[in-house]
Structures are given as C-alpha cells and as structure tokens.
C-alpha cells in the first residue's frame, strides 16, 4: 500500500476521532499533515501532540491563541478561519482529505479538496445534499476520487461492480437498498412523540455519533439526506433508491441486480470499518473492530418505514423530486430546526413541521451557480428561524 498524507477536517468529532484511531495503528502508512476543529481546543491539542501535524486549524482567533499557547513547544503551526480550512484541504503535500465537518460548514473545504484533485473520504453528507451537482462536477473536473464514509454508501460502494461508471442499467443494477436502524423511536407510540426530549433523541440504539446526526437518525431525516447522497454518489434516480428498516444495523446497505441477486455488506456497527476501507482502498487493513459474531446476533430483521412516524423521510424524497434548490432548503432548515430542538426551543414534531413549511415557502428556487445555493441556504435558515420564533 502506498503511504498517504492526510488532512482531517473535523478531527475532534466522532468521525475524526474514529479516523485517528485507525490512523494510529499504521504510523508507517499514514502521515497526518493537518487537523482541524472548531471548539474543542484541548482535544485538538492532544491530537496534535500525538500525530504531530504540520498545521492545526480552528475557526476564530481567540481559539487559535489558546491552541498556539498549548502547542508552543511543538512544530505544529496554528492557522485560523474558514479560508484556512480550504487551504489545508488543498495543500500540494496532501493526497487524502477526510471531510468530517458536520453540516453546511463542510461544503467549502470539501469543494477545495475536489478542485485540487484529492482523494476525498466523504463523511459530510450535507455537502452532497446542499450542492450535489456542483460538488460532483468539481470532483470530475478536478480529477478527484470520491470514497464514501457514510456506512450505507460505503456498503453500496463495496457491493457495486468494480469500475462503476455511473450508469446503473449498464452494470445490471436494479436498485439500491439503504438500510436504516429506525433510531430510538421506531416502536414508540406515535402519539407520544410530542413529548420526546433531546436526551432521548440523541440516545441512538446502535451507533455513537455527533448530536446533530443522532437527532437526524431519530427523525429519519438522516436517511432522507442519505437518499439524496446516494442519488449523487451513484447517479441513481429516487425510484431506484429504497429504504428498509433493519434494527440490528448489521447489514449496512445492499445492491440489487437485474438477475435477482442482492449483495449486502455486513459488519458490526462501528465507523472504523468504512473508515479503514476508504483509507486503504483498494487494499484492506485491520480496523480494530470486533469480528462479526452472527450466531450471537441470531436474527437480522427488516421492515418497511412508516412515513407517518417518520415524515422527514417523505420530505426528503419530495425535495429530491423537486430538484433545484429544494434539497438545499431541506438541509438548511433541518440544521436550524435540529439546533432549536436541541436547545429546547421547539418540540420534536416541530422539526418536520419546520422543514415542511420551508419547502413550501421556498418551492421553485433554482440555482444556476453555487452562489445561488449559498443564498438559498441563507434564506432557508432565515425562514426556518422566523417560523420557529412565531410558532
Ligand atoms: P461531530 O459533531 O461529532 O463532529 C463535527 C466536527 O466538525 C468537529 O470536529 C467540529 O469541531 C467540526 N465543526 C463543527 N462545526 C464546524 C464549523 N462551523 N466549521 C468548522 N468545523 C466545524 O459530528 P460527526 O458525528 O463526527 O459527523 C461528522 C459528519 O459525518 C456529519 O456530516 C455526519 O452526518 C457524517 N457522518 C457521521 C457518522 C457518525 O457515525 N458519526 C456516520 C455517517 C456520517
Ligand atoms: Mg449513515
């Protein structure tokens, strides 16, 4: 395997820490060039001491000062600001970029990596939801390689034919089956969902994740975002992407072929598996993940999602069908609504209501260029905030 030089965007998050776990096992294979974080300066400083990157990036000057102080006796140079994120994502000495910032904030640095032709390990699904067309275009034009980290898309990638060209029919693929755990509220009586607390919503049964994606998993907005993500990654139409609830989270997704074969990728629910897969691709490395013990698991079950319980999933299909700026609106409104829910400003069902309101209010917005999408994102945030403030 060739040695890789890494920038890790969002190093202090769940994906970032899992990535460093794998990287730490192979000091001869991976050199960390840059690590970035937002608020957790102490964690970032500890990571810098261990991995000795050339650069560490934070967003604002006061945090940068703090970090410089903590790293005063090291070789790591501390940079600051959004522009610095783009800079470390496109450094000539870097060949691989892990894009693991959460939310729309991850878009610009991921685009910078695409334009610079990097090998991009994409965890930040919001990039594809918000600006899929532009991002995929930047990947093609920049000659970048895209490897999905999201466990479902990584699974689909593994079940796809080698050298997949972007044409499902040409490869005999009938459809993509994305699995979903159903989250913490899969069996909770629908009429009690109004009383759900943020603590209950972030307590995912199978995965340990950041707070935003945990709430997204509870509402199944996460799966909705992933349907849109799959659309862009695999050039699949909405009717070629189906969601199946699979509460054990062992089958991470499937690809169904015309001849009736269904290929699935299975593993314990541990993000180090897709991370190690993408880090080493096309080789394989151990990820420190416990072996799958099927007799102990005993049963793998599947059920259809109930869109009455999970209206966000239906809204995502609706946004994908509407095209234009609708997925951008959905993503931005969702970020605002989830934040408001986590801050106890709105009850759980109001997340879906906010999205629905914003999609209706901003229907028909189109985007000729990336700047239009950034404007639509901003507008959707304002509309969502206003709706939340007066409800
Ligand atoms: P997290 O909240 O644990 O970490 C987010 C990271 O982004 C942190 O390093 C934080 O400092 C950084 N960050 C946050 N806001 C920022 C901003 N405005 N500017 C720059 N940096 C910022 O999130 P996570 O669970 O690690 O998820 C990261 C991404 O990966 C998300 O897009 C998520 O949807 C995706 N993802 C996560 C998982 C998972 O298991 N955690 C699985 C699949 C996909
Ligand atoms: Mg996922």
Instruction: Determine if ligand 1 sits within 6 Å of the CB of residue 109.
Output: no
Measured in residues, the chain has a length of: 391
Give the number of other CB atoms < 10 A from CB of residue 361. Answer: 16
User: Can you give the residue range of the structural domain that contains 343?
Assistant: 323-391
- Do residues 372 and 333 share a domain? yes
Same domain, 375 and 330: yes
Task: Say how far apart CA 31 and CA 15 lie, in whole Å.
Answer: 18
Does ligand 1 have an atom closer than 6 angstroms to the CB of 130?
Answer: no
Out of 98, 118, 148, pick the residue that ends a domain.
Answer: 148
> What is the pLDDT at residue 110?
98
Max Cα distance, the chain (Å):
62
106 and 41 assigned to the same domain: yes
Same domain, 62 and 168: no
Query: Which ligand 1 atom sits nearest the alpha carbon of residue 222?
Result: 34
The answer to whether residue 205 is domain-embedded is yes
Same domain, residue pair 76 and 57? yes
Specify the pLDDT at position 253: 98
One domain for residues 234 and 365 = no
Residues 300, 175 share a domain: yes
Residues 36 and 117 occupy one common structural domain? yes
Sheet holding 145-148, edge to edge: 77-80, 55-58, 30-36, 4-9, 96-99, 119-122, 145-148
Same domain, 71 and 186: no
Q: Pick from 83, 210, 214 the residue to mutate for probing ligand 1's pocket: most ligand atoms within 8 Å of its CB.
A: 210
Under DSSP, is residue 216 helix (H, G, I), strand (E, B) or coil? helix
Contacts of 72 (CB under 8 A, 6+ apart): none
State the Cα–Cα distance between residues 11 and 187, nearest whole angstrom.
Answer: 34
Q: Please give the structure tokens belonging to residue 281.
A: 């691709």
Ramachandran class of 179: left when φ > 0, alpha when ψ lies in -120 to 50, beta otherwise? beta
Q: Which of helix, strand or coil describes residue 141?
A: helix
> Whose CA is closest to atom 40 on ligand 1?
209
Q: Is 325 in the pocket of ligand 1 (CB under 6 A)?
A: no
Q: Which residues contact 376 (CB under 8 A, 6 or more apart)?
A: 325, 328, 329, 332, 362, 365, 367
Report the separation in Å between the CA atom of 123 and the middle of ligand 1, taken as the mean of its atom positions. 8
Global confidence as pTM: 0.97
226 & 168 share domain: yes
| Shared-domain flag, residues 96 and 237 | no
Question: How far is the centre of ligand 2, averaged over its atoms, from the C-alpha of 124 (Å)?
Answer: 10
Q: Which of 119, 148, 177 is the last residue of a domain?
A: 148
Q: pLDDT tens per residue, the chain (391 residues)?
A: 889 999 999 999 999 999 999 999 999 999 999 999 999 999 999 999 999 999 999 999 999 999 999 999 999 999 999 999 999 999 999 999 999 999 999 999 999 999 999 999 999 999 999 999 999 999 999 999 999 999 999 999 999 998 899 999 999 999 999 999 999 999 999 999 999 999 999 998 888 899 999 999 999 999 999 999 999 999 999 999 999 999 999 999 999 999 999 999 999 999 999 999 999 999 999 999 999 999 999 999 999 999 899 999 999 999 999 999 999 999 999 999 999 999 999 999 999 999 999 999 999 999 999 999 999 999 999 999 999 999 9
Q: Does ligand 1 come within 6 angstroms of the Cβ of 210?
A: yes
């Amino acid at each position: 395997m060739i040695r890789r030089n890494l920038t890790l965007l969002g190093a202090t998050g769940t994906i970032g820490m899992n990535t460093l776990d794998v990287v730490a096992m192979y000091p001869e294979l991976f050199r960390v060039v840059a690590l970035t974080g937002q608020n957790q300066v102490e964690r970032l400083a500890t990571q810098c001491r261990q991995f000795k990157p050339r650069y560490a990036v934070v967003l604002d000057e006061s945090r940068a000062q703090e970090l410089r102080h903590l790293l005063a006796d090291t070789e790591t140079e501390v940079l600051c600001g959004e522009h610095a994120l783009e800079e470390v994502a496109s450094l000539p000495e870097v060949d691989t970029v892990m894009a693991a910032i959460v939310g729309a904030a991850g878009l610009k640095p991921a685009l910078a990596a695409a334009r610079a032709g990097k090998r991009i390990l994409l965890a930040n699904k919001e990039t594809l939801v918000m600006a899929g067309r532009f991002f995929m275009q930047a990947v093609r034009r920049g000659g970048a390689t895209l490897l999905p980290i999201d466990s479902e898309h990584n699974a689909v990638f593994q079940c796809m034919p080698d050298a997949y060209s972007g044409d499902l029919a040409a490869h005999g693929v009938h459809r993509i089956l994305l699995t979903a755990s159903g989250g913490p509220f899969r069996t909770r009586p629908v009429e009690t969902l109004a009383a759900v607390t943020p603590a209950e919503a972030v307590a995912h049964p199978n995965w340990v994740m950041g707070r935003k994606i945990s709430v997204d998993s509870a509402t199944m907005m996460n799966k909705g975002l992933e349907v849109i993500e799959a659309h862009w990654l695999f050039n699949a139409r909405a009717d070629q992407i189906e969601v199946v609830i699979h509460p054990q989270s062992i089958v991470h997704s499937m690809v169904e072929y015309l001849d009736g074969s269904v290929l699935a990728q299975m593993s314990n629910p541990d993000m180090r598996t897709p991370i190690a897969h993408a880090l080493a691709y096309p080789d394989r490395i151990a990820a420190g993940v416990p072996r799958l013990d099927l007799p102990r698991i005993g049963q793998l079950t599947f059920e259809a999602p109930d869109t009455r319980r999970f209206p966000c999933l239906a809204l995502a299909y609706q946004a994908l069908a509407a095209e234009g700026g609708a997925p951008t609106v959905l993503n931005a409104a969702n970020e605002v609504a989830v934040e408001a829910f986590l801050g106890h400003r709105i009850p759980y069902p109001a997340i879906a209501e906010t999205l629905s309101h914003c999609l209706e209010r901003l229907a028909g917005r189109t985007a000729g260029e990336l700047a239009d999408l950034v404007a639509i994102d901003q507008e959707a945030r304002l509309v969502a905030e206003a709706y939340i403030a007066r409800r």
